[in-house]
Amino acid sequence: MNPCSKVSYNKIIFVLKAANEGYVLNHIWAAFFILAMMSGVYQFFGLGQTDVFELMVKATFDMAKLSVEIAIGLVGILSLWLGFFKIAEKSHLVRLLSRFLTPLFSRLMPEVPKDHPALGSITMNMAANMLGLDNAATPMGLKAMKDLQDVNPDKKTASNAQILFLVLNTSSVTLLPVTIFMYRAQLGAAEPADVFLPILLATTASTLIGLMAVAWVQKLPLFNAVVLAYLGGFVALMSGFVLWLTSLQADQLSQYSQWAASMVLLTIIGTFLVAGIIKKLPVYELFVEGAKEGFETGVRLIPYLVAMLVAIGVFRASGAMDILLAGVGALVALLGLNTLFVDALPVAFMKPLSGSGARAMMLEVMNHHGVDSFQGRLASVMQGSTETTFYVLAVYFGSVGIVRIRHALVCGLIADGAGITAAIGICYWFFG
């Protein structure tokens, strides 16, 4: 091994060890405020922007308010879906799903017992994410995290299974990015769904790289025959689905996406209720019992959301994000590379931090450069390539009281980086 490779390897090991000790999130959270203050001082004294500190203070209050609003909004959704999920659990539907995935997850999550409810919860969360059913995916994901917490020996420290689930959740493949199609249609895109395949390819890259990153740290047997069989089946299913979708017209694709989401949600609810009635369960009482759990979970999220979103808001209000973008643009130009993608980078930088912020950045890019421009399409693909890592981390781990996240953030950001990089390359391939 040459000395340079050894140094690089040692640096990687150092980063992973730091994350393993639970320091990463603390340091990053503090860094948001420190860098924001440095940027604010520069903006005030160097550029004469006298209102920068006022904007930063305003951001703290605005984001604190937004955190509570998000939590309150989640209370209703969580109560609804955890209520129905309680019926599914008692009627043994979750157990049936868990049995289907037991061969796979017994190898990827060896600490989770066979037929444990967590496996069913994970399955339903991933299915909801793939179909773009955000309102259903979050409650199911929180239920899965709670189920995984039941078999976690250290309740303050994220287990290997919880980390793998979180990374897969933040990078999960999205088959029907309905909201992105909707925004593009509203802004007058000629073909609102023409970013579908690029989004699918980018989010698939994010998921696979995220899985490999976690597998490397946790020494998971990805080349096991059973694991390869599941992954091969998934790839085959995805390929068939993509081939069918490419045969549809853009207006058909958009229409199918809209009614498919509604039909899937209603089918899930109906299946849960029918199963409960067949089992002669008190479905109303079970729904209320689950809904109470949803309410309690939503309230517990508030401190974690306030901490994360306030830090992000101050960072953005200080102008630090603008400075970062300017530096990247200068570096790309210096290297003599095509700089078209730089205009869409605000979406990439904001995506791990804030879902609403990234959405706002996407709309701003499409408005400024044109919805059918290269930058506008790239912004859409970036928006659909990954999930909001810091938000998901705060919500999912916060819901069960985990404070030591180990390598979860590092692996999640690796998946984010893969998705964004893939989005840039794929958009040059499709639209460049």
Per-residue model confidence as pLDDT tens digits over 318-376: 988 778 777 877 887 787 777 778 888 888 887 887 666 677 678 878 877 888 899 99
Q: Using 50, 70 and 90 to split pLDDT, how confident is the model at 7?
A: very low
> Mean pLDDT, to the nearest integer, of 101-107?
81
pLDDT of residue 15: 40
pLDDT of residue 6: 44
Question: For residues 161-170, b (16+ Cβ closer than 10 Å) or e, as one string?
Answer: bbbbbbbbbb
Q: Which residues contact 141 (CB under 8 A, 6 or more apart)?
A: 121, 125, 129, 169, 392, 396
DSSP for 60-86 reads HHHHHHHHHHHHHHHHHHHHHHHHHHH
pLDDT of residue 392: 84
pLDDT of residue 259: 65
> Mean pLDDT, to the nearest integer, of 195-221?
88
DSSP for 237-270 reads HHHHHHHHHHTS-HHHHHHHHHHHHHHHHHHHHH
pLDDT of residue 309: 76
> Mean pLDDT, to the nearest integer, of 289-311?
80
* 113: pLDDT strictly greater than 60: yes
User: By C-alpha distance, which of 298, 297, 378 is closest to 345?
Assistant: 378
DSSP for 137-177 reads HHHHHHHHHHHHHHT-SSTTB--HHHHHHHHHHHT---S--
pLDDT of residue 287: 92
pLDDT of residue 57: 94
| Token pair belonging to 247 | 């045969």
Contact 413, 352 (CB under 8 A): yes
Distance of alpha carbon 120 from alpha carbon 147, whole angstroms? 10
Q: Using 50, 70 and 90 to split pLDDT, how confident is the model at 223?
A: confident
| Token pair belonging to 102 | 């037991």
255 against 427, higher pLDDT: 427
pLDDT of residue 139: 79
pLDDT of residue 56: 94
Length of the chain: 432
Q: pLDDT averaged over the chain?
A: 80
User: By C-alpha distance, which of 201, 260, 209, 258 is closest to 235?
Assistant: 201
Contact 224, 107 (CB under 8 A): yes
